[in-house]
Structure 1
Amino acid sequence: MKKYVAEAIGTFTLTLFGCGSAAIAGATLGTLGIAFAFGLSIVAMAFAIGNVSGCHINPAVTFGLYADKRISLKDLFGYWIGQFAGGIVAAFVLMLIINSCDALGGVAATGLGTNGFGEASTTGISMAGAFAVEVILTAVFVLTILGVTANEKTSSFAGIVIGLTLTFVHIMGIPLTGTSVNPARSFGPALAMAVQGNTLALEQVWVFIFAPLVGAGIAAAIFALFKGYYSTQE
C-alpha cells in the first residue's frame, strides 16, 4: 500500500507543478520553461519516493515495466489507481488555486494544462497526428526508463536522465498536443475542466490514455530486442 500512496503523491506533484506551470505562467515560461517544470518534477520525486515505489508516476511507465515483467499484475493495477487518484486530486487543487486568484480570470481563462488536438491544439494537429505523436514520444520516454534502470551502473542517476528525457519530449510535444505521455496527468485536468463546464478535453482524453499505453508497449518490445546487453547484476 505504501508504494501506491507514494505513486499518488508523485503523480500529484507532477500534475500540480507541471500543469500548474502551463496554466498559470505558460505565457511567461514558454515551451522550454513548461518542459522543465515537468522534467524537474520527475527529478524531485525520483529522489523523494524512488526507493519506495520506483517513482513511475505514470500509468504508461508502469505498463512498460509490467510488459518487461518487472512488476506484478497486482502492482500494475495498484499503481494505476494511485496514479489516477493523484492526478485527479492535483487537478482539482490546481483549479481551486486558479479560481481563487482574481487576476488570473479563473480556469476559463487559463485552462488546466489539458491536452488536445484539432481546435484544442495550438498547431491544429489532427486526431491521427496527435495519436502518432503521443505514441512516439511515449515510446522514446519509456524506452529510456527501461534502459537506464536496467543496469546498476546507471540506475543511481536514473532520476536525472528520466527527468531530462521528459523535458525534451515536452519541448517537441507541447506545441502539438500539450504533451501527455502520461494518462493520469491528462485525465485529471480533463475531468476538472469538465466539472467547470468545458468538456472538450474530456471528450478527447481517450487519445491521451491509449496512445501512451501503445507507446509503452512498443518501447517494451524494442527493449526486449536489446535486453541481452543489460545486466542488473553488474
Structure 2
Amino acid sequence: MYSNLNKWSAEFVGTFWLTFGGCGSAVLAAAFPEVGIGWAGVALAFGLTVLTAAYALGPVSGGHFNPAVSLGLVIGGRFRAAELPGYVIAQVLGAVAAAALLYLIATDKAGADIGGFATNGFGAASPAGYGLVAALVTEMVLTAVFLIVILGATALRAAEGFAGLAIGLCLTLIHLISIPVTNTSVNPARSTGPALFGPAVALDQLWLFWVAPLAGAVIGALIYRSLLARRGEA
C-alpha cells in the first residue's frame, strides 16, 4: 500500500519527466532545422515519456502525470475526488521544476534564444497561426479521445500489460495532429511549466490550456462511462 507521499512523489517525477523530455526535445533537439528531430520527433518524445513513466511509476500512483487525466479518472469512477488536489499540485510542481531546469540548460550558451520555449498558444502564438476556436476545439477533442483510450486501455477486460503502450502511442498521435495548431497541450501542468519561463503571451493564453483539456477530459470520461463501459464497470 503506497502512502500519499509516495503517490505525490511519483506524480511529481512522472510529470517532470514528461515536461523535461517532451518540451526538452522541442527546445533543444528540434531547434536546429538542418539536424533537428522535427515535429515528428517531438511527438515521439512526448509519447515515450508517458510510456516509460507509466510502466515505471504507474504501479505507485496510477501514472496520471496530467491534471486533466486525474479529473477524467474521477468522472470515470476510477479515482477518488478527495485525492485530486494533491495529485494536481504534485503534477504542476513537477512541470514547473522541469521547465526551470530546461530553462537553465537552454540559456547556458552564448547568444541563447529560447524562442517560444515549447509553450502553447493560439493566433500569433500558434506554430501555424491557428485561432482561438481551432485551439479550443482541438484541445477539447483530443483530450476527450485521450481519456477514452486511457479508460479503455486500463479497464479490467483490456489486455493486461499493454495500457502504457496504448497510452504512449495515443499521446504521440495526438502530438502529430495538433503540434501545428497549439504546440499540443492536452495537459494543463505541461502548459503551465514552460509558460512561466517563455514569452509573456504564453501566460496570457494559459487559461485556454486549462479550460479546454479539463473540459475535454470530462467529456471523454462521460462518453466512455455512458456508451463504452460494460454494465456495472467503472
Q: TM-score, normalised by structure 2?
A: 0.92
Does 1:8 find its partner at 2:9?
A: no
Q: How does 1:113-128 map to 2 (within 5 A)?
A: 113-128=118-133
Aligned to 2:205: 204
Q: How does 1:144-163 map to 2 (within 5 A)?
A: 144-151=149-156, 153-163=158-168
Task: Please identify which structure carries the higher helix content.
Answer: 1
Residues 75 and 32 from structure 1, CA distance in 2 versus in 1: closer, same or farther, beyond 3 angstroms? same
Residues 60-104 of structure 1 show CA distances to partners (whole Å, capped at 9, x for unaligned) of 1000001112211221111101000000110010000001133xx
1:228 alignment partner, one of 220, 227, 230: 230
Is this contact kept in 2: 1:94–1:112, CA < 8 A? Answer: no
Find the aligned partners of 2:152 and 2:64 in 1 and give their Cα distance: 14
1:38 alignment partner, one of 20, 34, 46: 46
Aligned to 2:104: 96
State the SS of the aligned residue for 1:215: helix
**Deviation of 1:109 (Å):** 3.8
Find the aligned partners of 1:21 and 1:143 in 2 and give their Cα distance: 27
**Deviation of 1:111 (Å):** 3.1
Does 1:19 find its partner at 2:19?
A: no
Q: TM-score, normalised by structure 1?
A: 0.92
**Deviation of 1:230 (Å):** 8.4
Identity among equivalent pairs (%): 47
Residues 126-160 of structure 1 show CA distances to partners (whole Å, capped at 9, x for unaligned) of 11110111001111111100111012542411001
Q: How does 1:62-77 map to 2 (within 5 A)?
A: 62-77=70-85
Is this contact kept in 2: 1:112–1:189, CA < 8 A? Answer: yes
Is this contact kept in 1: 2:16–2:97, CA < 8 A? Answer: yes
Residues 156 and 229 from structure 1, CA distance in 2 versus in 1: closer, same or farther, beyond 3 angstroms? farther
Q: Which structure 1 segments of 5+ residues have no match?
A: none
**Deviation of 1:121 (Å):** 1.0
Q: Which structure 2 segments of 5+ residues have no match?
A: none
Find the aligned partners of 1:17 and 1:231 in 2 and give their Cα distance: 35
